[in-house]
């Protein structure tokens, strides 16, 4: 209605106030509605309601994509880090298994010392438990100054007790 009055009178000023009085609505509310109508019709520069809604939708999509990308990057970083740790663990496990095979299974002297040759899986499991006990507690280790792991552990706790007592 405001746009029609403006077209009929050729006046831009006063049309909103005139129509607002006739309709019994607030002048500023009607001015806002008239401006939105001019933008929507292309008579005035600005962002139309439809465009504003589309921009809002696109901004929400961008926000969601950024969040998904952050999650993806975090997961990718975690997976890379896990692969590094896994590779180290795999190498250590392969070394230990190779040592186990050599010392318990392939070395004839070790087979004889550990109750072999074994007649079945039960015998091998018992020998494996014995080897693990030896490996963890009794073997001399060059990296431990030719001490056993049990001796190094005992010395460690003895040193801690002495440090705490002081």
The pLDDT score that the predictor gives to residue 80 is 65
Tell me which residues of the chain have a pLDDT lower than 70.
Answer: 6, 12, 76-88, 114
Spans of all domains in the chain? 1-46, 50-106, 108-166
Q: Is the peptide bond before 117 cis (omega within 30 degrees of 0)?
A: yes
User: Over the stretch 122-153, which tens digit does the pLDDT of each residue have?
Assistant: 887 888 888 888 888 888 888 888 898 889 99
Cα dihedral across residues 140, 142, 145, 150: positive or negative: negative
What's the pTM value of the predicted model, to 2 decimals? 0.37
The pLDDT score that the predictor gives to residue 67 is 86
CB 6, CB 15: distance < 8 Å: yes
The pLDDT score that the predictor gives to residue 79 is 64
The pLDDT score that the predictor gives to residue 159 is 92
């Amino acid at each position: 209605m405001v746009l029609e009055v403006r077209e009929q009178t050729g006046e831009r000023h006063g049309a909103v106030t005139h129509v607002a009085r006739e309709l019994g609505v607030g002048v500023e509310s009607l001015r806002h509605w008239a401006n939105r109508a001019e933008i929507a019709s292309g008579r005035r520069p600005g962002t139309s309601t439809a465009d504003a809604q589309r921009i809002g939708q696109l901004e929400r999509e961008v926000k969601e994509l950024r969040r998904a990308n952050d999650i993806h990057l975090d997961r990718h970083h975690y997976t890379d880090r896990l692969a590094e740790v896994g590779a180290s663990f795999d190498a250590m496990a392969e070394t230990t298994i190779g040592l186990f095979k050599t010392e318990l299974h392939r070395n004839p002297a070790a087979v004889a010392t550990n109750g072999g040759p074994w007649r079945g899986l039960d015998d091998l499991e018992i020998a494996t438990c014995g080897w693990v006990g030896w490996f963890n507690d009794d073997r001399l280790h060059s990296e431990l100054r030719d001490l056993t792991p049990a001796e190094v552990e005992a010395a460690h706790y003895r040193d801690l007790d002495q440090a705490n007592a002081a």
